[in-house]
Amino acid sequence: MVRLLKLQRLAMVSTMLLAGQAIAQTGLDASRHRWTVRGSSSLISVDSRDTSWLDGGLSKMRYDETDSNTVFDRLLIEYEGALTPTLIAQIDADIMGDGDGSFDLTEAFLEWRPVPRSANRHRLKLGAFYPRASLENVGVGWSSPYSISWSAINTWLAEEIRLFGAEWTLSRPLGGGGSAHRLDLFAAAFYGNDPSGTLLAWKGWGLHDRQTRWREQLPLPSIPVLQPGTRMRQHQDPHAQPFLEIDHEPGFHAGAEWRYADRVSLAASRYDNRADPLSTADGQYGWRTVFDHIALRASLPWNLGLMAQWMRGTTAMGSVIGAGRRVVDNDYEASFVMLTRRWDSFRLSLRVDDFEVYDADVLPNDNNYENGDAVTLAYMRKLMGGLTLGVEWQRIDSMRPAREYLGLAPDADERQLRVQLSWQLSNHAD
C-alpha cells in the first residue's frame, strides 16, 4: 500500500480541517443541512511478528511494528440533509493515512421516510450503504462509541460488504397501539459486492477500524496461489476490489428484528450476494458469499449493556473440483459478546471475539484455515471542545497455517495498545 509522505499528509489534513471549518460556519440552516468533520489520530504500540494486511501480511490488526508510533487514522466529512421533509440524503467521505491519498466515499444514500398514516412505518433506502447488521457502528461515519477497533464480524463488513441498491423496512408495534414490542422487517436488493469473500478467504478475519471506500483496491497476501504466473493470477489481480459488480445478478439481504422497549432486541438476517462463482471481470472473481447473522442487545442490571453478534456462512469461487466444493471454498463463523457501561463522561467496554475459517476445498498450497479469539478492552472519554479520547488494549490470538507461506509460525499472539484522539466539528449541537 502506498503510504503518504508525512508532509503531504499534514498538508492534506490541514486543508480538509480548514474546509470543514468553513463549511461548519456557513449560514446553512443546521436544522436541515448538517455537516460533521471528524479527524482521528492514534499513538500505537504494536507487539506482533505479522505484517499489516494492508502491506500484504496476515496480521489481524490495521497497524504493524513498522508503522510509526503516531498514525493518522481518518478524516471524515459527513453530510446529512433533508432534500424535502421526507427525503434525507447522507454522504460519508473520508481520507486515511493508510489509504491511497484520495478522498473517497464509504456510504452515500437517500432515505425516503414517508409520514406514517397507520401503525405501519415504511422506510426506503437507496444508494450505497452497509447492510443492517452492526450493533457497534452507530456513531458518525459508521464509527463506534464503544471501542476503537471493532469486532471481527463488523470489521469484515467494513472491509468487504457494502450494498449498492435499495433497502425497504417495515416497522410496527406488536400487539396493538402503544405496545412496547416492535417488529421490523427489512429486505434489500443490491448490485455490486460480487468479489466480497476474497479477503476473508485469503487474508482471514481482522479486528480494526478501517473501512474500505468505494473504489479502493486492497492488497492480498503474498501466498503461493497468488504469485505471478499461477493459474489463479490469470483472472485474479494481486489486490481485491470487493464492491465490484461481476455477473450483473442482484443479491439480497433480508431479515427481521424484534425489540422490547429499550430493554432487549433480537435480529436475524440472511445475506446472499448470489454471485456467479465462475464469472470474472476487472481482475476479480465473483465469490458466492452467503451468511446468516444474529444480533442480540440487552439492558442489564447495574446499568450494564450487553451486545452479541453471531455469523456463519460460506464463500466460494471457481468450478466444482472435488467433493462438491469449488476451487476456493471456505466456511466461516464468528461471534462476539460485549459488555459496556457508560458513566457521565466516559465509557468502558469489554469485548470477547471468536472467529474461524474452515477451508473446505482441495486446492494445494492454499490452506485458508484459521481459528482465533480476541479480547478488547476500551476506555472512551469525551473531553471538551469536541475531543474524544480512546484508550484500547487488544490481544488477538490466532492460528493460521498460511503464515508458514510467509515464513512465520502458524500461531500468532498479537497485542496492541492504542491511544486515539478524535476531534469533531459540526454545524449542529447534537
Contact residues for other proteins (CB under 8 A)? Answer: 29-32, 34, 82, 85-86, 88, 113, 115-119, 121, 130, 132-134, 138-139, 145, 171, 176-180, 260-263, 265, 297, 299-300, 303-305, 307, 340-342, 347, 428-430
- In angstroms, what is the minimal distance from the CB of 378 to other proteins? 13
Q: Are 96 and 105 in contact (CB under 8 A)?
A: no
Residue closer to other proteins by CB (options 84, 234) is 84
Quick one: 62 or 347, whose CB is closer to other proteins?
Answer: 347
Name the minimum Å distance from CB 166 to other proteins. 15
Contacts (Cβ under 8 Å, ≥6 apart) of 165: 126, 188, 189, 190, 191, 192, 250
CB of 82: closest distance to other proteins in angstroms?
6
Which residue, 79 or 260, has its beta carbon nearer to other proteins?
260
Query: Of the two residues 223 and 267, which places its CB atom closer to other proteins in the complex?
Result: 267
By beta-carbon proximity to other proteins, the closer residue of 69 and 345 is: 345
Q: Which helix (H) or strand (E) holds 12?
A: helix 6-25
Q: 3-class SS at 74?
A: strand
Nearer to other proteins, 304 or 417 (CB): 304
Smallest gap from residue 416 Cβ to other proteins (A): 25
- Please report how close the Cβ of residue 313 comes to other proteins at its closest, in angstroms: 20
Beta bridge partners of 399: 371, 411
Cα gap 205→221, rounded to integer Å: 13
Query: Are residues 132 and 167 in contact, defined by beta-carbon separation less than 8 angstroms?
Result: yes
Reading the block at residue 253, the C-alpha cell is: 439481504
Cβ 368 vs Cβ 330: under 8 Å: yes
Q: How far is the CB of 133 from other proteins (least distance, A)?
A: 8
SS3 143: coil
The widest CA-to-CA distance across the chain, in whole angstroms, is 65
Report how far residue 192's alpha carbon sits from residue 148's, in angstroms, rounded to the nearest whole number: 28
